[in-house]
Structure 1
Amino acid sequence: MKKFLSLGVGVLLLSGCGLFGGREAALTPDQQMARYIAHAHKVDAASNFAPPPANPKKAKAGIYTSLGAAYLQEGHPRQAIRELQRAIADDSGYADAYNVMGLAYAQLQQDAAARGAFHRALSIDRKNPEYRNNYGAFLLHSGDYAGAVVELKKATEDPLYSTPQFAWTNLAQAYAGLKEMSSARNALNRALYLVANYPPALQMLAEMDFREGKADAAFAHLQVVLAQEPDNARALLLAGRIAAQQGRTAQARSFWQRCVNASPYSVAGKQAQRLLLQNG
């Protein structure tokens, strides 16, 4: 699964935990289980060999975890937790369920419960880089920058991690929290080496460049971000600030109005509204 919680520039990322996707998500766990078993039997009959026996409890835990992840992506963490509790009831060693539960509790700002869930996931699968990234991002947004660096570096060092750009960008934020700006830039450059024009990394580079007085470089980064994410409220807000600083008032107002239209109740959207009033 891809990212679903945006907290600042960094992101919390969900591991790929589902057995089914697409239209299967509309089925109940029991219905999905029935289809899973029927499909397994059909494959068995067609292939003329007997596969290892399935573990129904683990399969059902995977289904509940997929449903919990879907609820969380849709902004319903409490419903997600209920599904994840069902997953754990079927298989108390199902690490993905604890990982997603940590993210759900973090969204509810129940930090102790989130920390416990992440610890449980890592106790089951200590080397999983996605769990490390998620836990590191949780520590980052809890203000434990040093702890976040430890976890996120472990995630970036795993050669099998399929989306390391996430961890490198989170690591950059952790270094920035420690005021280690050179290390933060190096981490962002690493993310962009792995995935060219990765928007969260470019967004953070733009913010760093703007603070250092490099407005043109910052604006160039933001143009690339907005070409991919035209409704990115934070990018629109900063692009408007740069345009205003450089005397392009009409363009600044256009960026701020787009920011308000895209996300009126976000922090960026509220700031854009204030700037529009001040520069009316």
Structure 2
Amino acid sequence: MYRKSIRIIFIILSILACTGCAGPKKDVASDKKRAEAFQNLGASYVREGKLREGLGNLHEAVKLDPNNAELHNQIALVYMDLAEYDASLRHFRRALALKPRFPEVQNNLGNLYLLMNRWALAIASYQKAVDDVLYKTPHFAYTNMGLAYYNMANYEKAIEMYQRSLKVEPTYSTTYFNLAYAYETTQKWEEAILAYQKAIQYLPNDPAAYYRLGKLYLKLDRKREASHVFEQFLDIAPKGPYEEEVKEILKTIQK
């Protein structure tokens, strides 16, 4: 996947304006500090969900520190959240131009391409991320690559990517959930059940895994298991979006 008081930033700017006789090195250092202040403030706004305010401060930061690859990455992520994909793409590319070996950005760029339904480009970006031996979280990129292959209807390749992810991080619940979904699509029912159970094991408060597992049991006419899982679903998500549907299912199968 940034903040400080605006008042403090204005004070910093006024002090800097009064010290114009400082040498070039001091000016550069001052710009870096001012950029960091804007960056922190922008990050704070983004965390609060105030994306436009955050973006404005991040742009002020990048004016002062235009060769900061991480700043361009942060700006790109905000644009991506705003669904302004062309702007996001520009800043991801700028980040990579400044720092070609930046696997986290390659993964983020892959996510952008995924949102744009540009599956092949997404896969290429994820592959660059996992090929970097310094990338600390390749399971993210493998899982995302699996999703890209799934969207291309290449289900076996998707399963392969999910399995690679789990070799790196065998407790990552999201991968198990996606793997289960791929197994369902290919009608590998028992494998899907086991994968959903693993997803629940490593993230027991995720209602989506209970819901999908319950629906799968129902499809297989395994009503006792379905009933048990749906009751667990209601325990952890009593006011969730599928609450009424699950209650109706339980009424039907528990008659």
TM-score for both structures, normalised by structure 2: 0.79
Q: 1:232 to 1:73 in 2, by over 3 A?
A: farther
**Alpha-carbon distance in 1 for matches of 2:244, 2:37:** 43
| Equivalent of 1:76 in 23, 38, 50 | 50
Distance 1:240 1:75 in 2: 34
Pair 1:261 & 2:235 matched = no
Distance 2:71 2:119 in 1: 26
Counterpart of 1:274 in structure 2: which amino acid? E
Could you give the per-residue CA deviations for residues 178-203 of structure 1, whole angstroms, max 9, x where no partner exists? 22222222211111111112111111
Alignment match, 1:109: 83
Indicate how the Cα distance of structure 1 residues 86 and 186 shifts in structure 2: closer, same or farther if over 3 A, else same: same
Aligned-partner residue type, residue 86 of structure 1:
E
Q: Tell me: CA distance 1:62–1:187, structure 2 relative to 1, closer, same or farther (3 Å).
A: farther
**1:53-202 equivalent positions in 2, closer than 5 A:** 55-202=29-176
Instruction: Give 1:63 deviation, angstroms.
Output: 4.3
The verdict on how the C-alpha distance between 1:224 and 1:147 changes in structure 2, with shifts beyond 3 A counting, is same
Q: What is the correspondence of 1:8-19 to structure 2 with a 5 Å cutoff?
A: 14=1
Change (3 A) 1:71 1:227: farther
- Deviation digits for residues 61-102 of structure 1 (CA, Å, limit 9, x no counterpart): 344334433443443322321221121122122221221111
- Give the conservation status (yes or no) of the 8 Å contact 1:101–1:117: yes
Paired letter, 1:110: E
What is the rounded CA distance, in whole Å, between the counterparts of 1:276 and 1:254 in structure 2? 9
**Alpha-carbon distance in structure 1 between the residues aligned to 2:53 and 2:197:** 38
2:126, 2:144 within 8 Å by CA — same for their partners in 1? yes
Corresponding letter in the other structure for 1:180? N
Runs of 4+ in structure 1 off by over 4 angstroms are none
Which of the pair is proportionally richer in helix? 2
Structure 2 residue identity aligned to 1:237: Y
Does the Cα contact within 8 Å between 2:210 and 2:230 map onto a contact in 1?
no
Give the drift of 1:162.
Answer: 1.3
- CA contact 1:87–1:94 (8 Å) conserved in 2: no
Residue deviations 1:127-186 (CA, integer Å, cap 9, x gap): 211111101111112211011011111111011111111111111111112222222222
Q: CA–CA distance in 2 between the matches of 1:261 and 1:75?
A: 26
**1:174 to 1:240, Cα distance in 2 relative to 1, 3 A:** same
Residues 59, 201 of structure 1: alpha-carbon distance in 2 compared, 3 angstrom cutoff: farther
| Cα distance between partner residues in 2 of 1:135 and 1:188 | 19
Distance of 1:149 and 1:82 partners within structure 2 = 31
Structure 1 unaligned regions, length at least 5: 1-13, 19-24, 35-51
Aligned-partner SS, 1:261: coil
Asked if 1:251 is matched to 2:225, the reply is no
**2:79–2:85 CA contact under 8 A, matched in 1:** yes
Distance 1:258 1:207, change over 3 A: farther
Q: How many residues align?
A: 233
Q: Deviations over 1:195-247 (max 9, x none)?
A: 11211111111111222233333232222222332232321221221233321
Asked if the contact 1:236–1:259 (Cα under 8 Å) also holds between the matched residues in 2, the reply is: no
Check conservation: 1:65, 1:96, Cα contact below 8 A: no
Distance of 1:140 and 1:251 partners within structure 2: 36
Who wins on radius of gyration, i.e. which is larger? Answer: 2
Cα distance in 2, alignment partners of residues 28 and 74 from structure 1: 14
Counterpart secondary structure, 2:83: coil
**Which residue does the alignment assign to 2:248?**
277
CA 1:97–1:238 in structure 2 vs 1: closer, same or farther (change >3 Å)? same
* Matches of 2:128 and 2:106, distance apart in 1: 7
Amino acid at match of 1:220: L
